[in-house]
Amino acid sequence: MAYQRPSLEEVKSHFNQLIDSFNSANTEEQQRETLSRINALRSEFQTYASIASVRNSINTTDTYYEAEQEFFDESEPVFRELNIRLYRALGNSKFKDGLKEKFGHQLFNLADVSVKSFDPSIIDDLKEENKLGTEYTKLIAGAEVDFQGQKMTLSAMGAFSQDTDREVRKAAYLAVQAFYAAQEKDLDEIFDKLVKVRHRMAQKMGYKNFVELGYYRMSRTDYSAADVAKFRAQVYEHIVPLANLLREEQRKRIGVEKLKAYDVAHHYNSGNPTPKGTIEEIVANGQKMYAELSPETKEFFDFMVNNELLDLENRKGKAAGGYCTMFEKYKAPFIFANFNGTVGDVDVLTHEAGHAFQCFQSRNFEVGEYYFPTMEACEIHSMSMEHLTYPWMDLFFGSDTDKYKYVHLASNVLFLPYGVSVDEFQHIIYENPDMTPAERKQAWLEVEKKYRPWVDYDGVDYLERGGFWQRQGHIYRSPFYYIDYCLAQVCAFQFWSKSQEDFNAAWTDYLRLCNAGGSDSFLGLVKLAGLRSPFEPGLLQPLAKQIETHLSELNGKLA
């Protein structure tokens, strides 16, 4: 894909001319035609931004794309301001009713919350926020952990957390914590600056603190912080007891007196399930799986493989983690990951592929806002795909397939208490922006004790002072983007439950959801998929019971 840095001045000039044409149009048809031209301009700019971002994350030591990422960090707030001009124009259009009929109400909902999330007075603050986020990414990507006579990336260290030898697990755990502890001052400083700049933006825009602004930035149009608090309470009441039970069963299964932090990723003394084969063989099995799942998934995954739209190998200098993005101009999703020989490698081919499949299905919408839905709805596609591909897991795990299904389902249950911990922590932080780094760490410990009472850091000072949250990049780079995973996981559990009774019906509902892209709000899409709202009282209790029964049956097979 060809890359060139766009001229921001030319983009601004052209964009503003088109907005003026949109505002002065005498007919709905003229506005629609102008909107099409605006979308083409936006798509080209976003495509270059995506290419630069991907190439920067593929090799964070590449100085050329480091400079290009810095350019887009600087340019993004300016480009956001142009989009706000468009959103205001849409809101003020004298042909709004006709445009709503053509494009749907969600475009206008998104326009409304976007206007509420931006003001020209915060452009410099947004630039600073972007720079600090990139600084965090580079700090973590540059990690080199000394272990067993080698220098390893954090991703590579993940495999040792599952080693059958407890001493190896502990040594790996201590080595990773030593890296984070050595960066503690820098991590504290970056985050302190981020909290301050976000609070400053909120106050400039007339908000009490960053919480309300943060929700608008996440485009949450049909639920509030109060709804999320009630959801966290449901997790505390119905999921935390199940999670406690699963941890106690794990402790007994692996035969330790006390489950330590370096034990939690180790589920079986015979060894955790691991995918069989090389990266190429795993991808080939993924291609077979998607060919059999449906005609739509076959077309999608063939497209991804044939166009080399997956970068999966773990390499020195490569950014940590995994993601899915889109090159809009090419209508092409892209998957980035760091394979490390664990079950996470297969989860990439289901989770990130779930994102990419939805994007592929909705790539032909006329407005870019509908290529992806809002984040919590996005995560339904990814997490549900993990469950809907269970029938093909034998391709990857062979005789360990039941073991994989147990670990995967149990891990998803165990994730929920962590996910709501991250969310509650962020609410505390942004409601109290003058906290010191030590006070923030104490707040984390209190939240963690509430939702994850089994955690035992085995005397590691940095963690026992509350430093664990600093490894969670979302807290730094994407504030309030975490409860999304929890809300989506509850929806994914519903798809799993449906698939146990009627797989074809569950897949039909899932495909309908993917085809809708971002054309509706979160709760609108949940309803479209035939799911119950995660905020609905009484939803989690029967789901937790069904999952507990299923896990018990799997355990019986494995005994």
Encode pLDDT of 252-288 as tens digits. 999 999 999 999 999 999 999 999 999 999 999 999 9
Q: What's the mean per-residue pLDDT of the chain? A: 95
Torsion of CA 531, 537, 541, 542, to 10 degrees: -40
Residue percentage of the chain with pLDDT more than 90: 92
Does residue 547 register a pLDDT over 70? yes
1-30 mean pLDDT: 97
The pLDDT value recorded for residue 78 is 93
The whole-number average pLDDT for the span 152-163 is: 88
Task: Categorize the per-residue pLDDT at 112 as very low, low, confident or very high, splitting at 50, 70 and 90.
Answer: very high
What does the pLDDT look like over 434-444, one tens digit per residue? 999 999 999 99
**Confidence tier at 557 by pLDDT (50, 70, 90):** confident
- Name which residue leads in pLDDT, 559 or 89: 89
| Amino acid sitting at position 173 | Y
What topology is assigned to 218-276+400-559 in CATH?
A: Neurolysin; domain 3 (1.10.1370)
pLDDT in tens, 436-483: 999 999 999 999 999 999 999 999 999 999 999 999 999 999 999 999
Q: What is the model's pLDDT at position 259?
A: 97
**Dist. CA 415–CA 547, nearest whole Å:** 14
Judge contact between 324 and 350, C-beta under 8 A. no
Task: State CA 505 to chain mean position distance.
Answer: 27
Mean pLDDT along residues 78-92: 95
pLDDT at 321: 84
Predicted pLDDT at 173:
95
Q: Mean per-residue pLDDT for 407-428?
A: 97
Helix (H) or strand (E) holding 324: strand 323-327
**Computed from CA positions of residues 446, 450, 453, 455, in that sequence, does the dihedral angle turn out positive or negative?**
negative
pLDDT for the residue numbered 559: 63
**Domains of the chain by residue range:** 8-111+122-129, 218-276+400-559
Q: For residues 363-378, give the mean pLDDT.
A: 95
Q: Is the pLDDT of residue 320 over 90?
A: no
Residue 340 has what pLDDT?
Answer: 86
Q: What is the pLDDT of residue 324?
A: 96
Residues ≥6 apart with Cβ < 8 Å to 19: 38, 82, 85, 86, 89
- Rounded-to-10 torsion of CA 276, 511, 104, 30: 80
